Copies of this chain bind each other. A is one copy, B any other.
Amino acid sequence: MTRFIDILTSQKATDRPAFWFMRQAGRYLPEYLEVRASCDGFLNLCYTPDKATEVTLQPIRRFDMDAAIIFSDILVIPHAMGMDVSFVKGEGPKLTPLTSQQDIEKLHTDETAICTHLQPVYNALRQTRTALPQDKALIGFAGAPWTLACYMLQGRGGNEFITAREYLYQNPQQASALIDRITDAVIIHLRAQIDAGADALQLFDSWAGLTPAPYLQACVIDPAIRIVAALRESHPQIPVIAFPRGIGAALGEYARQVKPAGISIDTNTPLATAAKAVEGLCAIQGNLDPLLLAADGDKAAAYVKEQMQMMKGVPYIVNLGHGIVPHTPIEHVERVCETIKSFQ
């Protein structure tokens, strides 16, 4: 067993917190850029198991985190459901947006279609699990239905997903059917990742904070309940960390209803406030600001140390509150990792 899984499954604090960083495999690492340059597009990297395995392992070799997260993207699910997905350099993801009930009904949700398309991701998980030391956990992941629906309805990020939110208001039944279909696909993809070697899972609801209040239950909380319950039923030993980024005042409500093994906290929620809201219901992960990590290694380390002291006795995983930014100096990451590993 690993320190990371221990914290999540026993819900107890260990000698020191476990740690990993969202987007720990990425553009701030020269060895990542080298592999990335050898690929014809970002999705090609996700779908080439040797290369995805290599970039997944790179940060572990350098920084010795307690967990590796498989290199992939949340948008492989819409891709597997049959949508056009591409990544344009400097512009982020582009999809041909869904605009009608017909578009929604055409999306694949059967296990064979999803799993055949995503076989390279599962192969990468298998290879990574074999290569990864036994004391390191391997994390699989998926985007949550609301966040995926935002991209699928708007076709791109940005603009606070106004198009997606208006679609929800104008066609609530269609949007609900869409969320249901995505939820099915997410469950299929997460289960297949466990079968391929994932020791834990993270559900990224990156845009939970943009959900209109009247739809928070239906679009964010209910799908997460269904996903966490389905996984607990099929794979009771695999912990799920939920990351409802920006959920704000409803954080406690989310934790009580969804009952994940861990909850990841965004950069804007003080950890003390989060711990109080979650009431010991699950482990807590977070929430160093990637901008602080990029700006000042010493201050980032001091912040993390302070949080670790405050969280003593709480099952706690050090992480960022959002993904590492590309201009992060490697020395800053090293500085923070040393601080965590030497913490007593």
Contacts and interface: CB of A to CB of B under 8 A. Distances in A.
Contacts of A166: 291, 294-295
A313 interface: no
A120 B273 CA distance: 43
A273 B255 CA distance: 14
Interface in A11-42: none
Contacts of A247: 248
Given A209-B268, A267-B213, A169 B292 contact: yes
Contacts of A291: 162, 165-166, 169, 212
A170 interface: yes
A307 B169 CA distance: 17
Contacts of A287: 213
Interface in A242-268: 246-253, 267-268
Interface in A203-222: 209-214, 216
A271 interface: yes
A127 interface: no
A312 interface: no
B214 A268 contact: no
User: Interface extent on A, as a size class?
Assistant: 35 or more
A228 B249 CA distance: 23
Contacts of A251: 248-249
B268 A212 contact: yes
A303 interface: yes
A253 B268 contact: no
Contact of A269 (B170, B248, B273): B248
Given A214-B303, A295-B169, A246 B268 contact: yes
A62 interface: no
Nearest to A210: B268
Interface string A288-315: 0101101110010001000000000000
Contact of A268 (B170, B213, B271, B299): B213
Interface string A129-168: 0000000000000000000000000000000001001100
Contacts of A267: 212-213
A270 interface: yes
A274 interface: yes
Interface string A41-69: 00000000000000000000000000000
Contacts of A252: 249
Contacts of A303: 214
Among A246, A251, A252, A270: residue with most chain B CB under 10 A: A270
A240 to B, nearest CB: 21
A18 to B, nearest CB: 20
The 7 closest A-B pairs by CB, nearest first: A248-B248, A169-B295, A213-B270, A212-B289, A249-B269, A249-B251, A249-B273
9 contacts: A165-B289, A165-B291, A209-B268, A212-B289, A213-B271, A214-B270, A216-B270, A247-B248, A250-B270
Given A210-B268, A212-B289, 17 more contacts: A162-B291, A165-B289, A169-B291, A169-B295, A209-B246, A213-B267, A213-B269, A213-B270, A213-B271, A213-B321, A214-B270, A214-B289, A247-B248, A248-B269, A249-B270, A249-B273, A250-B270
